[in-house]
Amino acid sequence: MKKIKAAIVNGVNQDYVLEDVYLDEPRANEVLVKLVASGICHSDEAFRLGEAPYNFPAVFGHEGAGIVEEVGEAVTTVKPGDHVVMSYAFCGHCPSCMHGKPATCAEWAQRNVTGRRLNGDGIFFKEDKETVISTILGQSSFTTHTVVDENNVTKIDKEVDLRLVGPLGCGFLTGSGTVFNGFKPEVNSTMAVFGTGTVGLAAIMAAKIAGCSTVISVDIHDHRLETAKSLGATHTINSRKVDALEEVQRLTGGLGADYVIDTTGLSDVMKTALDATAQGGTYAPVAVSSNELKFSPFGEIVASTKTIKGVLMGDAVPQASIPQLIEFFKQGRFDFDKVVKYFDFEDINAAANASNSGEVIKPIIIIDKEYKA
């Protein structure tokens, strides 16, 4: 086992604490990654703050980017020295994985949210070398080093700044993938996006790339709506000032939007988003939230032939989608760098607070300060 430093959450609602912990060796199909940086995703915070249950202690973080340091003997897709972005874990051989749908992997839950390896073994341990510290998404990136399954890493171009790209493994992947893979909108479609966090803004950028003619951003903060506009929203609605449903209908010729995403997870907003979906349209609620959405199936879904679609992790194959997003970024069509803010690893609590308060859209913690792009 290797002694490393990680930001641990020891119990629900507790702060991150930097601790010396032990990391197990990579097994045959695993990769040891030295982290350069990691985004903080709202899901990390949802688990830390108890909005969804988790096994503590835990090493959160699932938007990591770094350099491969060691690989198990069965690993074929990466080698030491490769630059990688990490995403979620999948088996690679179940029917869903074989059909190119790893986000619906039969082993998704076991590999991503139990906090352990598939056979129940831990990866991170407390100083006693026995107490298991849970992982998340088979990844855990708020740490100097981690061990992940080979399927969890996507090799990327070495020219790309590793400090920036970690969030392409979750937030930006989820938002863009919901559009590219979940909706596959026809050119000239209309889309409404509720919320302007990472996922919402990624959806807006993707909607523009996909050729949607009307891309409506709905939020309650004017400055966030300005950001949405700068990234591709054709219209913005401040739902504190005007009725969002009426306004979406007005902007879409009375029809409602063909595609609607809710990224807020708030019951009343999810309802407005469903109501703002056009007849025959598709609605995807994507927030990690335990709030309920109440509707009458016949009146609101059947009679209006609407579809409510579950899209997890943007239904993306990370190894295909992450390089694609980097390509869009290089072309100036996916300017996600405009919404990130860097923090030192030691300031991870401040970074998380800045995200929760809405002050920063995507905080990224710099773990390896020696790294130079």
Q: Under rule CB under 5 A, which residues in 19-58 are in contact with Zn ion?
A: 41, 43
**Least distance from C-beta 79 to Zn ion, angstroms?**
24
Q: Under rule CB under 5 A, which residues in 262-301 are in contact with Zn ion?
A: none
**Choice between 86 and 248, CB closer to Zn ion:** 86
Contact between 5 and 42 under an 8 Å Cβ cutoff? The reply is no
> Segment contacting Zn ion (CB under 5 A): 114-122, 170-178, 190-198, 264-272?
170-178
**Choice between 60 and 343, CB closer to Zn ion:** 60
Is the N-terminal amide bond of 297 cis, ω within 30° of 0?
Answer: no
Indicate which single residue of 7, 105, 193, 273 sits in contact with Zn ion (rule: CB under 5 A): 105
**Least distance from C-beta 362 to Zn ion, angstroms?**
11
**Least distance from C-beta 1 to Zn ion, angstroms?**
28
**Choice between 105 and 364, CB closer to Zn ion:** 105
Q: Under rule CB under 5 A, which residues in 74-103 are in contact with Zn ion?
A: 90-91, 94, 97
**Choice between 7 and 257, CB closer to Zn ion:** 7
> Segment contacting Zn ion (CB under 5 A): 78-86, 155-163, 167-175, 329-337?
167-175
Q: Distance between CA atoms of 129 and 146, rounded to whole angstroms?
A: 16
**Least distance from C-beta 301 to Zn ion, angstroms?**
28
**Least distance from C-beta 255 to Zn ion, angstroms?**
32
Indicate which single residue of 31, 164, 170, 270 sits in contact with Zn ion (rule: CB under 5 A): 170
Q: Under rule CB under 5 A, which residues in 173-212 are in contact with Zn ion?
A: none
Place of tokens 């996916």: 334
**Choice between 113 and 278, CB closer to Zn ion:** 113
Residue count, binding to Zn ion (CB under 5 A)? 8
**Choice between 72 and 92, CB closer to Zn ion:** 92
**Choice between 41 and 65, CB closer to Zn ion:** 41
- The one-letter amino acid code at 59 reads V
**List of residues 6+ apart from 22 with CB closer than 8 A:** 1, 2, 3, 4, 124, 125, 126, 127, 129
Note the maximum CA span of the chain: 64
Q: Distance between CA atoms of 314 and 108, rounded to whole angstroms?
A: 14
Least Cα distance to 32 among 68, 79, 4, 6 occurs for 68
User: What are the tokens at 364?
Assistant: 């990224």
CA-to-CA separations, 3 to 124, 143, 150, 157, 295, in angstroms, rounded: 10, 11, 22, 29, 52
**Least distance from C-beta 124 to Zn ion, angstroms?**
19
Q: Distance between CA atoms of 103 and 62, rounded to whole angstroms?
A: 15
**Choice between 149 and 275, CB closer to Zn ion:** 149
**Least distance from C-beta 235 to Zn ion, angstroms?**
27
Contact between 7 and 143 under an 8 Å Cβ cutoff? The reply is yes
Helix or strand run (H / E) with residue 92: none
How many CB atoms lie under 10 A from the CB of residue 312? Answer: 18
**Least distance from C-beta 342 to Zn ion, angstroms?**
18
Q: Please list the residues that pair with 237 across neighbouring strands.
A: 218
**Choice between 171 and 256, CB closer to Zn ion:** 171
CA-to-CA separations, 153 to 132, 147, 158, 289, 354, in angstroms, rounded: 23, 10, 14, 27, 28
**Least distance from C-beta 98 to Zn ion, angstroms?**
8
How many CB atoms lie under 10 A from the CB of residue 112? Answer: 21
User: What residues make contact with Zn ion under the rule CB under 5 A?
Assistant: 41, 43, 90-91, 94, 97, 105, 170
